[in-house]
Each structure stands twice: as structure tokens, then as C-alpha cells.
Amino acid sequence: MLTSEAVSSEDLLKWNGKDQESIQQQLIFDRSCVNLESNQIVWLNSNNKNIESITTNFRLLVDYIKQLSNVADCYDYIQRTQDIGTILVCSGSSSESIIPQVHDLKHLWSIYIEHYNPCEKKQNYDENVYKNYKKVRRLSVNTFDSIYTDLKQNIEEIKKYEKSTTIISNLSKTDFTTNVLPMSNWTSFIGLLCNLPYDKKKSRQQLISLMKDYYQGNINELRKIEEFENNYQSNQAIWWYTRDSFIYRILNKALRQNNIELLFLFGFFVQDMYRQLKDIYELDKKRYTNENQVVMVYRGQLMSRHEIPILRINTDHIGNNAFFSTTMNRSLALFYTGPSELTDELQSVLFEIELNGHDESYLPFVDISHLSSFPNESEILFMIGTQFMLSTVHDKFDYDNAERIWKIKLKVRPNDRIQDFKNLQSSTQRKTLKNCVNIILSHRFVFLIESFNDVRPIFRKLIQYFPNEQDWISAIENHCLARYEFFKQKNHAEALLAYEQALSFWLKYHESIGDNDDELLCVNDIGHIHKEIGFYYKYIRKDYKLANKHYDLAIEFYKSAVQNRSSATLNGDDEIINVFYYIADIYGKCKIKVSRNENERMQNYLLAIENLEKNIYDLGRMNAINKTVVADRRKYLASLYESTSTHDKALWNFDCALELYRDNHQHSNANFNKIYEICDKIISIYSGKEEQGYNNILKYQLIRHEYLIAESSLEPNNDDKIRMIANSYDNLSFTYKALNQLDLANQSSELASQLHSKTNQSDERDETNTDN
């Protein structure tokens, strides 16, 4: 979206009468309204001189030059463009009025006073006044050449600063001037861009045409655009990104600001960057999997003082919202920041990142030295959305008094949105597009939406780029809105209207394609909507009859998808593979709740089991399957068997799920909790089997205990985790006693007592501190 500061009401009036899409497209590239780059010169030309020839030369240094003729307009404009680094040029006659008003603004880099000579007696200015303003770089200027020479040096300093400014994602929404998605959703949106089936030739030409118009008159930039037009290849994306050109400057600003409009325009390039990084990462991953060889990379970065405490309390949730550049040269990283005092507005931070492993859940990071236009910088580039955490539990984010810099040691952490980059490509472009759009519809995406206005531009751009798919994209947009209103905003009436609108779009599309629904399987989407409408009638209206009606309609549409399986192969398509799971979920979680009697309830359980077994069988036929998904389904199936008192099958499926969770080396909190839950379930079942109970109970208590110890090692001072381990020792002691293993029972009891004592002392200290 456009920056709100950049467009005034007068700007909007110019476009009166045009449709919104046209206005948006025109405004975003209208130089009189919007600066696409990160810097600008604001020229307060109060004498209304003709400076066109001068500004032409200055555009070789800073492309965007805004001329204003009075102090009030100048002040207002600088205030409205606080996301843009600004250099002010003003005349001696206006300097005394404007400088005190703007000098302390953070985004104002420097001030030049043109044609001011304090030796001329007719100019009654006190030179000492300007000595109080550190940003005034030149008081006596007789020629514009002198400004140009000094400005050239000033711009080099600003570029050095920009290369080290923050792209870490702990900034709040107020730090941005455009639509801002939460970090996880931002990562998912980038995943969408990286997989969209662009018409790359058309997209590239659109970008080139708009850039030529925007940079008209800037000879240097036009030359680079022409070179890009004639020579660009997808395998050169990294080289172009590292050049000092419109690509680097505009793309990075768009990424920092979450500018959806611009990012769709650069989407094909972001996609090329991702694929090039991914291909190199796969070839080079052995470099990072040698446990005996740790690769250290560094990033020197400048942060404002108010960002430091925010980052210090979020050290396990650090992410980058743009491409993240690091170097293997520590001295080079420090060069970009230099030291800082604790009282400085800008603080120097050194990120020390340890690369000693490769994981399927990592986004790519690679050494791009051989591809960069700056090969001597030993640059390791991380993909947008990479997540970091403290290297060890003992590491902290502290100020180093010796080097006068903040230092933090990190390592890459598994990415919770990695699936939004993978498995989206399909057999047809339309299906690939639907997989991409479904990212926005996912519950995890919807639950993090702060305002639906943040995602409307995504749907608008999707329709603009794929106009022939408007009906079903609009259906998904309304379905997404319905979920947002229902689950996030609790506006249930508004949600029902959106559900009905989504159904209308899908049914219209379904009618237009007849029985040829193999590509999108829109019957699944219609089934999802009926299921959620049933949920509305069950829990909001308490109308079990209408709820059951919509659940049955959902099953009817899902079953029609099953019938299409004869002409559609499984080949990795989730919508086909999961049809039986969708049906099982309706029987096992929805119709169960509206069953009229115990017989009907049991029948629903059995139908849920039957369909879930079919789904797990389908998953088993796949060559590449997600172990966590299969484990989740096995766990669900075990719970269904447990509900029907079929304990042997419940135990077998719980065991299968547990083995899969344990095989999965991604030790996330979610997997720890699932392992505990399954162990507790199995222990509970065996508690009723006296002849074989205690030996099996001990087996699963020990498994549970093993993972408690492993999880606690990640947070060694967490009293809650220590209490859980103490309770686990108590349980082990009881079981050892039942098995007449008294030495182990006493040993477990003693360890439990020690841990209980430790947590009690901690509680007493907390109470004392509270009282004080």
C-alpha cells in the first residue's frame, strides 16, 4: 500500500473520477506524490529560482528531489515523510525559520544552506546560531559545485548506515506506514510470492516500463534499467540484488514497509532470488552439517535505543523481514556500525550467528561471494523470514564495554511457516495458484490478522494478476473474511453473511465447470464452508437440526470429491489426499456433538474411524510424507478407538504416533507436549490392565521423563519445568515400589525431594521480593 504520509488530499483530488485500482496504480508511481526510494533531497526554494539544471546533476546522487517554495509546506512535507531519509537544502533567508523546526527529526540527515555568506554585511545572520545545529554541514556556499562535492561524501555515509539499519522483526505496527502483517504471516506471504505462477516475461516488462517512467531524466538509472531489460536472467537475481540499483533500493524499502503493491510488482524477482538461494543451499548444505565445524557469520547493525529493550526480551523470537546480509569477516561487520555509547540515540549491535546444522525446516542461507557484485565481502545471505534464537540458554544480549557495542549470539531456528514455501507447486498453474491463495485462508494465518484491511490488498493484486480466476479467488477472500469475523472478531452475523457470499461464488464456479472439478476440487471448499456454518448453528444459535443439515451437506460435497479420485491421482495433492480426513473430522468432531442418542453417537465414531483409516492408508502410499501429519492422524485415530473402548487398537495407534513424534528430530514445544499427552493416555489405559500394567506404565513413564529432561535443558532455570520433573520422579518412585524395585524407588524419591526443595526455596525468595 502507499505510505499515508506521502499522499495528500490534493494528490488524491487529481485522480478524481478514476477507479480505485487505477488510482492506486498511478499514485504509486507518480513522482509528484510518492518517493519509492529510501532517501530524498527537500529543496526549500523560497526565491523560486530555476534550479532544473542543478537538480538534474543532483539526481545522480539522490534520485528524488522535492521542491517547495515556503517554510510551512516544507515543514509539513518533511513531517509527512518520516519513513524517508531526508537531506534539506535551503536558502539563507529561510534557514532561520525552517532549521529549528526540523533539525531534531530522526529522519533528517543533514542540512545545506545555499548562497549564504556571513561576510556580506547585508545578510544579518549570526553564524554562531548554526553552531548549535550539528546537522548543518555547510554555512558558506558560493557555488552548487561545493554542495555537490560534500553531498556526494554525505550520501556514501548514508548508504553505509542504510546497509546496517534494522531489518529485525521486533518493531511494532506503529513503526511502519503501510499495511503490516505479523512476522509469521509476513513469512507466509513471501512464501506465496515465491510460488505464484507468474507470467514472468509479462511481469518483468511491466516492472521495466514503470521504472522507465519513474526514473525519467535520471541517466544513470535509466542505463541500468535498459541493461536489466536486455540482459536479466533468472539465475542472475543475486548479482542484480547486490548491485547499487533500483532493484536493491526499492525492493528493500518495500520489504521493510510491508508494501504489498510494490512486492507483487517485484514478485517474480523475489521468486528468482528464493529459487537461486534454495538451489545453492541444497548443493552447499554439507558445509553446515559437519558437527565439528562451526561456521560463524556476523552482522553489524544500528538500532534506535527504544528497540534494544524490545529485542532483549524477545531473543527467542527474532526474524528478518527482508533479505538478511551477513559476513564471515567480523571486522567488516564492525566497520558498518562502529562503537556507540549507551546514551547515543543509535546503538551499535553485533549479531554473531552460528551455522552448525542443516534442517529441512530452515529457509535457505548461502555464501553468495561468487555471485555478488561485491565478491570480497564474504557475504552469507539469508532468505526473508529466517528465524533465529539464542545460540545457547546461557547466551545473553548485553553491552560490551570494551568494544562499546551490543552483542548477541544466535543460531538459526526451525521455521514454523516452512510449509508455506514447500509443496505448493502442482501439476497445473491454476492448482499452484490455489495452493498459494490457500495460505491466506489457513486458520493460523487468519488468527494473526490484526485488521482485514491488511490482507484485502493481497486479494486485490491476485485478481489483478490473474483476472480469469476472479470468481474463485473472490470466494476464498470471502471465506477468509468469514473466518476472521467468526473466530477472531466474534462478529458472528457478519461471518454468516461472508460465508453465504463465499458459497455463492463457489457454487457459481462449480456450475460453470460441471463435472470437471479435478483441478481445483472446489467441492472441498464448499464442504469446508458448510462445516463452518454448521459450527455456527451448533455453538452460536444452538440449533442442532440446522447444524446437522450443514454437516451432512459438507459430507455430501466431500464424497463427491472422492468420486473424482478415479481420474485424479494422489501425487502429493493435499486436497485429494485429505478428503477422507475431512469426512472423518465431520463424523468424529462435529456430528458426534449433535447426535440424538448413543446408537447414533457410536455410529458416528465408527464412520470417523473408517474414513480416518482410509486417509492414513493414502498418506502411507505417498513417497514423501510429513511425519508430524501422520503422527497427528494416528493420535486422532487412537483417541477415536479409545472412545469406543477398543483399547488394543487405541494402544497400537498411540504407539505408532509416539514413535513418529520421537523420530521427528524437530523438538518443538508442540512435539514435546504431544509426547507427554500420548504417554499419559497410554499410562491411563494400562492402569486398568493389572496383569500387564506396571511394567508398561514404567516404560512410558521413562519415555515421558526422558523428554521432560530434554525440554528442561532448554530452560534450566524454569521452576515450572523443575516441578514437572520432580513430579515425574515421584511417579517413577511409586511405580518402582509397585514392581518391588526398592533401590530405584528410593533413588527417584530422593531426587524428587531435592527438586521440590529447590522450587520451594525459589518460591520463598519470590515472596520476599514481592513483600519488599
**Are 121 and 184 members of one domain?**
no
Q: Is 311 a domain residue?
A: yes
CB-side exposure of 650: number of CA atoms within 13 Å? 17
State the pLDDT at residue 90: 87
- pLDDT interval class at 240 (50, 70, 90): very high
At 63, list the grid cell.
Answer: 534520485
* Dist. CA 713–CA 287, nearest whole Å: 27
**Are 266 and 404 members of one domain?**
yes
Q: Is 201 a domain residue?
A: yes
Split into its structural domains, the chain has a count of 2
CB-side exposure of 419: number of CA atoms within 13 Å? 13
**Are 231 and 320 members of one domain?**
yes
**Are 147 and 270 members of one domain?**
no
Instruction: Give the bridge partners for 365, in sequence order.
Output: 382
**Are 158 and 173 members of one domain?**
no
**C-alpha distances in angstroms, 52 versus 15, 43, 190, 378?**
26, 12, 40, 42
| pLDDT 10s digits, 486-514 | 999 999 999 999 999 999 999 999 998 88
| pLDDT 10s digits, 35-67 | 898 889 999 987 777 777 778 888 888 899 999
- pLDDT interval class at 91 (50, 70, 90): confident
Look at residues 393, 422, 451 and tell me which one is the last residue of a structural domain: 422
> Is the confidence at residue 413, as pLDDT, over 70?
yes
**Are 290 and 403 members of one domain?**
yes
At 314, list the grid cell.
Answer: 524477545
Average pLDDT over every residue of 181-199: 90
Q: Is 359 a domain residue?
A: yes
Single-letter residue type at 146: S
Q: Is 770 a domain residue?
A: no
| Alpha-carbon Rg for the chain in angstroms | 31
Look at residues 162, 189, 222 and tell me which one is the last residue of a structural domain: 162
State the pLDDT at residue 174: 33
* Dist. CA 573–CA 585, nearest whole Å: 19
| pLDDT 10s digits, 506-551 | 999 999 888 787 788 899 999 999 999 999 999 999 999 999 999 9
Rounded to two decimals, the pTM is 0.85
Ramachandran angles phi, psi of 228, nearest 5°: -60, -45
State the pLDDT at residue 168: 55
* Dist. CA 535–CA 549, nearest whole Å: 11
Least reliable range by pLDDT among 139-148, 227-236, 389-398, 522-531: 139-148
State the pLDDT at residue 690: 64
**Are 258 and 373 members of one domain?**
yes
| 84 exposure class (CB count in 10 Å sphere: 0-12, 13-18, 19+) | buried
Are 318 and 170 in contact by the 8 Å Cβ rule? The answer is: yes
Residue span of the structural domain in which 200 resides: 164-422
| pLDDT 10s digits, 245-300 | 899 999 988 998 888 999 999 999 999 999 999 999 988 776 655 556 778 999 99
User: What is the domain-level CATH number for residue 180?
Assistant: 3.90.176
Share above pLDDT 70 across residues of the chain, in percent, rounded to a whole number: 84
**Are 223 and 334 members of one domain?**
yes
State the pLDDT at residue 729: 96
**Are 158 and 182 members of one domain?**
no
**Are 274 and 372 members of one domain?**
yes
* Dist. CA 411–CA 352, nearest whole Å: 8
Look at residues 130, 162, 194 and tell me which one is the last residue of a structural domain: 162
Higher pLDDT, 19 or 72: 72
Q: Is 486 a domain residue?
A: no
Q: Which residue, 441, 391, 493, 416, is CA-closest to 192? A: 441
**Are 331 and 400 members of one domain?**
yes
Q: Is 657 a domain residue?
A: no
CA angle 118/119/120 to nearest 5° reads 90
Q: Is 534 a domain residue?
A: no
Q: Is 597 a domain residue?
A: no
**Are 291 and 412 members of one domain?**
yes
Q: Which residue, 382, 414, 107, is CA-closest to 255? A: 382
User: What is the domain-level CATH number for residue 57?
Assistant: 3.40.50.720
